[in-house]
Amino acid sequence: MATRHDNDRFTPERFRLRTITVVGAFVLATVVLCLRAAELQIFNNAFLSAQGEARHIRRAQISAHRGSILDRNGEPLAVSTPVDSVWAHPRELSVAAERLPELARVLERDPEWIARRISSNLEREFVYLRRHMRPDQAARVQALGMPGVRLLREYRRYYPAGEVTGHLVGFTNIDDEGQEGLELGYDHWLRGQPGVKRVLQDRYGRVIEDVESIRVARPGRDLRTSLDLRIQYLAYRELKAAVTRHGARAGSAVVLDVYTGEVLAMVNQPSYNPNDRSQFTVARYRNRAATDIFEPGSTFKPLLLAAALETRDWTPDTVIDTSPGRLRVGRLQVEDRQNHGRIDLTTMLARSSNVGAARVALEMESQALWSVFDGFGIGHLSNSGFPGESAGLMHHHSLWRPIGQATMAYGYGLSTTALQLARAYAVIGAGGVRRPVSLVALDDVPSGERVVSAATADAVMSMLEAVIAPTGTGHRAAVAGYRVAGKTGTSRKSGVGGYSDDRHVALFAGLAPARDPRLAVVVMIDEPRDAFYGGEVAAPVFSRIVSDALRLLAVPPDALPGEVPSRILRADAAQ
């Protein structure tokens, strides 16, 4: 009888069976693994490679360098400096929530703010934590080795001249897009095209290797402006001093190159620093010289006289009777500060007689007047390309009435900007030719359009020079060593109920040197408190700007020692 012990007894047959079973199992497992490996490596290779790349290879943007803005001599007005922005993948960073206070300290952020920003954006893959950090600060963030926290190289705009050029150059937003001034007007020129590349990242999102360049970043182009930073500085200095000295509300000054139309300086008060975003308010960054309109007052009279002389019915020596110092036009009473009696047109301009100007305007055809004013660019944009520039205001002659025609003669009933008025005076200085205003440096003198004859322009220049005579209203605009031509202006500001008696705009517009004009300059002081006449407030600013600018430009003096132009002698003799 067989026992259980006999049945369990080890035999060679059983040993072989077990060996075959175990070896077969290993062989089968090996075959299965080989087949699986073959499937993964051969049949599913493309799919798995794509999945791997999706987890470790990323498309990274390469920021494009924005072009620099330079003055005409190559001095930088706006440049881009490299900075790093810190961003995060919220889901990846959420696993290290206990380290958020540590991250917050390095970022100089509130820990609760970071926690809220991460928790509220878990469905997103990209959120900024801090923009535009210095590279050394950003390196400390990266050194933390926190999951999901990464750096992005960007560029930040810097303005070396600060508030001196702020109104003209403008500024960009945090994404380096132009928002105001030349930054906005020439954004298409300055802005580059970002590049794209594929990079290999580790599990912390750090770039290990650049794999492939998809699109090369194209930097923006530099913009060489017409601005002369030296003249800009001195114009800014003198304007700021005058606005402060007279307690004025605001002020503007424009300096044009007469023969090219280039803007050499354009300044305003109050100003702002484009490097400080806390100062970005419309009242501070608005370029008043190009956007704010005002009634030009007596600075408009030279344009009236140019129109009169162009008819050939008038000459600088034509006598006009201003007695008794007032003139009734409908319900309007035009008055002079004193009765000048019978005076010629040159003296009328030197003494700034409103009655004389009104009589001249009323004796002319409205269409002839309008045609010349229109040719000077009144009521039209200067085509400078500055964003937000105002065209001013001048109605068509078909809408004029006698009262309007009379007040227009001395600068009321129409509006201009400081830039527009400077362009009009540049026409006179350029021999009657109007050229487009340019904020970009020019290599050649542009062709222009004739507005008045060269003889008319020369005659008006002579009359304007008489204004600077010691007895003229603009004697404070005189410049030692140079002959100067210009005109004062004082206009009352309109408000509710009519024109104000205590709110004025003080103006001076002029050309220098008078023998061969190089500069056209306009100074406007808005609501000065202690004095308000253009000859007292604006003319001295013109004198100081022109004096230094002519020497910076190495323009030789044109006034011989002791020389007094005959036109000034005639004006003095008429006193």
Angle at 230 between CA 229 and CA 236, to 5 degrees: 80
Token pair in block for residue 25: 């199992």
- DSSP secondary structure, 298-342, as one string: GGGHHHHHHHHHHTTS--TT-EEE-TTSEEEETTEEEE-SS---E
Given the residues 63, 252, 271, 298, select the one marked as catalytic.
Answer: 298
Quick check: 450 and 433 in contact, CB under 8 A? yes
What's the rounded Cα separation, in Å, for the pair 77 and 69?
Answer: 5
Q: Where are the beta strands (DSSP E) in 159-219?
A: 171-172, 178-180, 195-201, 207-215
Cα torsion through 491, 494, 498, 504, rounded to 10: -40
What's the rounded Cα separation, in Å, for the pair 570 and 575?
Answer: 9
Neighbours of 282 (CB within 10 A): 7
Q: Which of 521, 515, 520 is nearest to 559 (CA)?
A: 515
Quick check: 130 and 107 in contact, CB under 8 A? yes
Quick check: 240 and 523 in contact, CB under 8 A? no
Based on the residue annotation, tell me whether 298 is a catalytic residue of this protein.
yes
Cα torsion through 126, 129, 134, 135, rounded to 10: -40
Whether omega for the bond prior to residue 565 falls within 30 degrees of 0, making it cis, is: no
Q: Which of 351, 565, 330 is nearest to 458 (CA)?
A: 565
For tokens 């006009």, what's the residue? Answer: 320
Neighbours of 56 (CB within 10 A): 15
Quick check: 324 and 386 in contact, CB under 8 A? no
User: In whole angstroms, how far apart are CA 416 and each of 308, 358, 371, 446?
Assistant: 21, 19, 16, 24
Report the catalytic residues: 298
